[in-house]
Chain A
Amino acid sequence: MHSTVVRAQNIFGLFTTVAFFVSAFIGLSVLFYRQAPSADVNLKNLQVVKGRPHYYSSKREEYAHIRFDLDAGEETSFYLKVFVYILAKWPSPGKPDSINEAVIWDQIIPADPSQNPNIAPERRRKSLASPPSKAERGLIRLHNAKSKYQITDRAGKIAERSNATLELGWNVQPWVGALAWTTHMQLGSWKALQGGRSKPFNFPELQVKKKSTGGRSN
């Protein structure tokens, strides 16, 4: 029966088949793009202070305020959304098996390089005219940057914890297909991350504000 229904069905069938193969091709094509990430993460300044999780909370916890440098040049031929983050990693005292991890800073790098917050505005404007270099697409440069999130462990204690590191990580958001995370191993034309980890450091002892010590001594 060559009715309208059958024709509509055929057209819809063809459409879904073509859409499936095109999206499968797009999903697999990311593997052929070259990617050579490298990063330097350095700790600049570190303080541990007492604070509250939010304004109306009566809970008092220890928070680490971290300042850091990040120089990441991810040479890439990607035009994809990337979610970049730095996490602090430290073991619980006396228990090397229990690891605490917390994101201290993150940023979204949009697929459109002219929207990349790390490219200087004048260069950004230019990049609309001339395509940005591969190094520029995944460029992040931060100096003495402040952490976005105050971090602590499950018990609300973080002072004098030792053997902590800062690590760079990212999540590539595809147009369609599988999500990808930090490459620690080489995978086809995706090179492993060079660097991306700070030297081990220790959290300092709790910084006591003068006001609070005065209150306690009375």
Chain B
Amino acid sequence: MARAILKSITINWGEMQILKLLVGLGVFTALFVLRSSIVGVPGNFSAKSPKQTSGRIKNSHQVHLPPTMFSSLSYLKPRQLAAQILNFGLILSTAFMLWKGLSIASDSPSPIVVVLSGSMEPAFQRGDLLFLWNRGLKTEVGEIVVYNVRGKDIPIVHRVVRRFSKEGEPLQLLTKGDNNLADDTELYAHGQDYLNREKDIIGSVVGYMPYVGYVTILLSEHPWLKTVMLGLMGLMVIMQRE
């Protein structure tokens, strides 16, 4: 019965994104309230902190330990430690909300993508960051679009070289990489000759930033770096006093 009701509720993609954004906002607020119940509201926090720091400095003098990175961790009071972990959570939920907000604004499931291949050289190189926009489905010839091949989840960034428009129907597009000799017909799903603007394309490239995305390529090629980075980030936040 419950399953039947759940099945009858259909949520479209945009509504799902807004829902996720709201969940992010909920998590953020919950963390914020929790944090202020521990250390007081941010205004009071700075007023309180001198007392706490002076106490810690006194402590370190007693045991004659230099206030290095690792020794300082053991002097953290559990209350402070909890506050720092909550800070980390706040940062993560903010990043999540930014991403979802951008996704809603641009109407694209991934508004920022990283170029992974050299098929669009010399325009785009491996590791370049591209900003997508997916509103207004009037894609013109010469625009660069990101599409997913049906049945596979590999996003491809290529230029539109053919466009067939028909009143009341989504555009039919053919794409080609600037650096490729042939067009993309061979890349499309079996039996598919053209891309459907509404179904296949996740956005049209409007902005460009070189090199920045190379970090994510490194992270995906060397997964251990992810652990190291996450650990470092966590440590950094916990160490941070302010």
Contact = CB atoms under 8 A, between A and B. Distances in A.
A99 B143 CA distance: 17
B72 interface: yes
B interface bracket (residues with beta carbon within 8 Å of A): 35 or more
Interface in A151-207: 151, 153-154, 169-171, 173-179, 181-182
B178 A108 contact: yes
Question: Chain A interface secondary structure, helix, strand, loop or mixed?
Answer: strand
Nearest to A59: B193
Given A4-B69, A81-B122, A100-B164, A175 B210 contact: yes
Interface string B201-238: 00001111110000000000000000000000000100
B159 A176 contact: no
B144 A23 contact: no
A1 B162 contact: no
B69 A5 contact: yes
A179 B142 contact: no
Contact of B142 (A92, A97, A169): A169
B236 A1 contact: no
B123 A101 contact: no
A213 B231 CA distance: 74
Contact of A98 (B68, B167, B205, B207): B167
B96 interface: no
Contacts of B239: 1, 3, 5
Contact of A85 (B69, B142, B194): B142
B164 A154 contact: yes
Contact of A177 (B182, B205, B207, B240): B207
B148 interface: no
Interface string A103-117: 100101010000000
Interface string A77-108: 00001010101000010010111111100101
Q: Which of B163, B205, B210, B241 has the most chain A CB atoms closer than 10 A to its own CB?
A: B163
Contact of B161 (A23, A98, A149): A149
B123 A83 contact: yes
B172 interface: yes
A9 interface: yes
